Amino acid sequence: MRVVAAMSGGVDSAVAAARMLDAGHEVVGVHLALSQSAATLRESARGCCTIEDAGDARRVADRLGIPFYVWDMAARFKRDVVDDFTREYAAGRTPNPCLRCNEKIKFAALLDKALALGFDAVATGHYAQIVEGVDGRRELHRAVDMAKDQSYVLGVLDEDQLARSFFPLGDTVKPRIREEAAERGFYVASKPDSHDICFIADGDTKGWLTRELGAARGEIVDSDGAVLGQHDGAFAYTVGQRRGLALSRPAADGQPRYVVEVRPETNQVVVGTAELLGVNAITGDHARWCGPAPTGTVRVGAQVRAHGEEFPATAWAVGDRLEVRLDERIRGVAPGQSVVLYDGSRVVGSATIAASRLERVTTPSATTTTTTTKDAV
């Protein structure tokens, strides 16, 4: 097969490209230029997509003896990932830009361009596995290395995209990948991993959002509306947050308080006890399925954060909407996050969280509907 290997300049994508070549594929390395004003050098392990990263990717391609190109996708990355990130925070939601990048850039823009140029598939250095099911369909599964598993941020991929994707690292733990890179003589064998939000190299999301959206002083209130403090922008807060609240009045019961709601329309941040964070019902929109959409009600594991815990749940789809009922309360579920569903190690699909709440739930059977009654929190 003719395969585009997405090469970020890091150790994972380098080994992924090498493994695809070893497997007998015709491989071309491609580095995605995602910044409209790329820095020359990496500022920290958080950033990526610098000129230095492009050079590192090219050196690996040269060592492998494969063609190498830089594809400029900066404008689309800004529109589909960066601007979306900013809008979501301005609307009081907490987005995951890695999911949006995988959906809109790496497995839409990149894959579409590769197919248009006559390639058959795209390979990346993500830690996940593609397994052929008993029906011949390709399924997305968790990686062997659970500490590095990235199936959560790949939960936006559909069946057609999975059919044209390769994740060569999914069966290997990260320390072995570094050893393999060193054995192959790759300069990047000991290069630090990039992490967090790649376009916020210093890791200061609040500072970045303030520069983008401007400071907007507002009130921090409790659930009764009593003013407890001030903030410089509701966009800097997320549901479940405890640190950095700087409240002027301590809680009467001495218990810590958390952000329980962000109200962009009034520029208010609402805080309350941990008990107010507990939810067992999630409604998601923009549902995406890594294969056929489930029919009726299904038992699944639900994960709401990258590398977060998986919780047993019941789920069903209603058009583009997803309803999830958790077997137990969980805390800190914020609108804008994604809920990803699992059947064992297999990724079923995902949705963007639109709302969460505490409900008394009558669990439906596979052929019945659900009736819910809101429970007092």
In CATH terms, the fold of domain 2-190 is: Rossmann fold (3.40.50)
Active site residue 290: no
Asked if CATH classification 2.30.30 holds for the domain at 215-276, the reply, yes or no, is yes
pLDDT for the residue numbered 63: 97
pLDDT for the residue numbered 370: 36
The answer to whether the 215-276 and 278-374 domains have the same CATH topology is: no
| Domain range annotation of the chain | 2-190, 215-276, 278-374
Residues of the chain under the 70 pLDDT cut: 36-49, 195-196, 250, 361-377
Secondary structure class of 370 (helix, strand, coil): coil
Active site residue 101: yes
Choice among 48, 49, 98, 101 that is catalytic: 101
In CATH terms, the fold of domain 278-374 is: Elongation Factor Tu (Ef-tu); domain 3 (2.40.30)
pLDDT for the residue numbered 375: 34
- The single residue listed with the structure tokens 């390639």 is 119
Beta bridge partners of 3: 27, 121
Mean pLDDT score across all residues of the chain: 89
pLDDT for the residue numbered 223: 87
pLDDT for the residue numbered 36: 67
Give residues with Cβ within 8 angstroms of 179, minimum separation 6.
none
- Name the amino acid, one letter, at 79: R
Choice among 48, 49, 198, 290 that is catalytic: 198
Short-list 6, 14, 313, 40, CA closest to 190: 14
> Tokens standing for 230?
């001030």
